[in-house]
Amino acid sequence: MSMASESDSPNFILVPLMSPGHIIPMIQLAKLVAKRGVHVSIVVTHLDASRFSSTIAASGLPIRLLKVRFPCDEAGLPPGCESADLLPSFTLLPNFLNATKLLQKPVEAVLQRLSPPPTCILSDKNLMWTVQTCDALKIPRLVFDGMSCFTQLVTHHLYTSKIYQTPDPTQLFHVPNFPDKIEFSRSQLPALFNPGPSDDKGHRERVRETELLSYGMVVNTFHELEHRYIDEFRKLGRGRIWCIGPLSLSLSLCNEEDHDDAVSDHDCLKWLDDKKPGSVVYACLGSLSRLSAAQFAELALGLEDSGREFLLVLKENPEMERWISGDGIEERVKGRGFLLRGWAPQMAILGHPAVGAFLTHCGWNSTLEGISAGVPMVTWPIFAEQFMNEKVVVEVHEIGVSVGARRVVHLGEEEEEKVEDMVRREGIREAVERVMDERVEGSERRKRARELGERARRSVKEGGSSYQNITTLIQDITDFIYKN
């Protein structure tokens, strides 16, 4: 869709939470909307501007970055902690959220001077002050939640039924009034139902309340993946819903990232080039997950014991490095295992022919990327809504196998995890063996994963469900402008 003229085009303001898992899909959405001739501006801190300005500039799209100073000092944060992944300890997460609240006045000052003026704000759900900002500007607030409609629907039924309030946190219960027979224990639920010691449950409650005040919700999913849950979620009457994902797939099909030499020349991709098709297990547990050294050892040894080739992403951690050095695993698996320190070009890795499975923490972004690549998954949910995402993969679409994680490990509590709750190398090895197995069960799982990947690709191409929903989103906002 292209607008009638530049002056008729709406101006979308995107306000992401300062964390890679939140800002990256927002930038992907910005690119897709800008491709349709819409003005797009993204509110960023100076750090995020330095992190992401090159990928935005390389797109050649007229996306503006509205830079604001992140108030680290005022919120009691160390200098430079402008993103959740840079916090030295997650005990500082309340300080970080307080800092995001202090952004309201400086952001509003920027928006009041903006030309053309804002016509809507697409806000991360955690930035609740955007409700007041939109009221003052008399424009609609759209929520970008970053979760699936499956999770939204489960959350609604748990919240209204209170069934999760069991004396025993490990007791399993079925989600009432749900299209499928799905069960959880309270210990597997996100902080709204299962807060950790440092969680502010009041914050979660307020997030939910402000979601209900919004004009609608933009969801990074696609109709063919969860049409039953989308339909049921719409029946709740919580505003308009536009399903426009998978966002990362939309851009990869447009060759947005092909120009990036840093990706194509990455050592891990060269290593994969020498491997047989479908032979490698790619293991990555996300940007925020921080395993204890003992839990990382179980992961690494489980991959080693599987006998499969693997590519394992690990974060900078002195204790992990001491264990790696002392155990000698890196030398033992040389040639068969690749330990990748730091950033991983995940979409390029998952799209490589050598990758046959994805061991994932089931963050929604990573889950969608695995689905888009058409690879089966080994699921290891850790925190937030990740146990819900695991259900989509393992039980709804049957394209994954669980390592057997039993409870949420809240951010900042990794070192306090009980020995009996740790995921053991045996469970990791068995899940990898099942996913990579070439007999009937494994072959059928791979076939389902490939077919789901094809449906994802069709959804984002011209004429597909997500492509059409972006058209509808832009038209709905345009209609709102003229009616008001």
Domains in the chain with CATH codes: 6-253+462-483 (3.40.50.2000), 261-457 (3.40.50.2000)
First CA to last CA across the chain, in angstroms? 22
* Type of residue found at 20: P
In a 3-state reduction of DSSP, which class is residue 420? helix
Angle at 409 between CA 321 and CA 52, to 5 degrees: 65
Instruction: Give the span between the Cα atoms of 319 and 466, in whole angstroms.
Output: 44
- What confidence score (pLDDT) does residue 198 get? 67
Distance between CA atoms of residues 484 and 474, nearest Å: 16
pTM of the model: 0.93
Residue of 233, 245, 23 lying closest to 126 (CA atoms):
23
Residues of the chain with pLDDT under 50: 1-6, 256-259
Tell me, what amino acid is at 304?
E
CA distances from 417 to 80, 282, 329 (A): 29, 25, 24
75, 40 Cβ separation under 8 angstroms: no
Q: Please, what is the Cα angle at 93 between 89 and 98, to 5 degrees?
A: 140
Q: How many Cβ atoms are within 10 Å of 435's Cβ, its own excluded?
A: 27
Contact at 8 Å (CB) between 122 and 474?
no
Chain centroid offset of residue 162 CA: 27
Q: How far apart are CA 56 and CA 33, in angstroms?
A: 13
- Closest Cα to residue 18, out of 286, 262, 288, 284? 288
Give pLDDT, residue 258.
43
Strand 355-360 versus strand 141-144 pairing type: unpaired
C-beta of residue 170 within 8 angstroms of C-beta of residue 187:
yes
Number of residues that this document lists for the chain: 484
User: In the prediction, which pLDDT does 271 show?
Assistant: 97
Predicted pLDDT at 4: 39
**Distance of alpha carbon 413 from alpha carbon 117, whole angstroms:** 44
8 Å CB contact between 39 and 30: no
CA–CA distance from 63 to each of 3, 12, 34, 152 (Å)? 16, 10, 7, 30
Q: What was the pLDDT predicted at 3? A: 41
Rounded CA-CA distance 129/107 in Å is: 10
Could you read off the pLDDT of 93-124 as tens digits, one per residue?
A: 999 999 999 999 999 999 999 999 999 999 99
* pLDDT value for 482: 81
- Name 240's bridge partners: 216
**DSSP assignment of 61-105:** --EEEEEE---HHHHTPPTT--SGGG-S-GGGHHHHHHHHHTTHH
- Paired with 314 in beta bridges are 341
Q: How far is residue 28's CA from residue 246's CA, in Å, rounded to a whole number?
A: 10
DSSP letter, residue 396: I
The torsion angle over the Cα atoms of residues 476, 481, 482 and 484, rounded to 10 degrees, is 120
Cite the DSSP H helix spans in 353-424.
364-373, 386-391
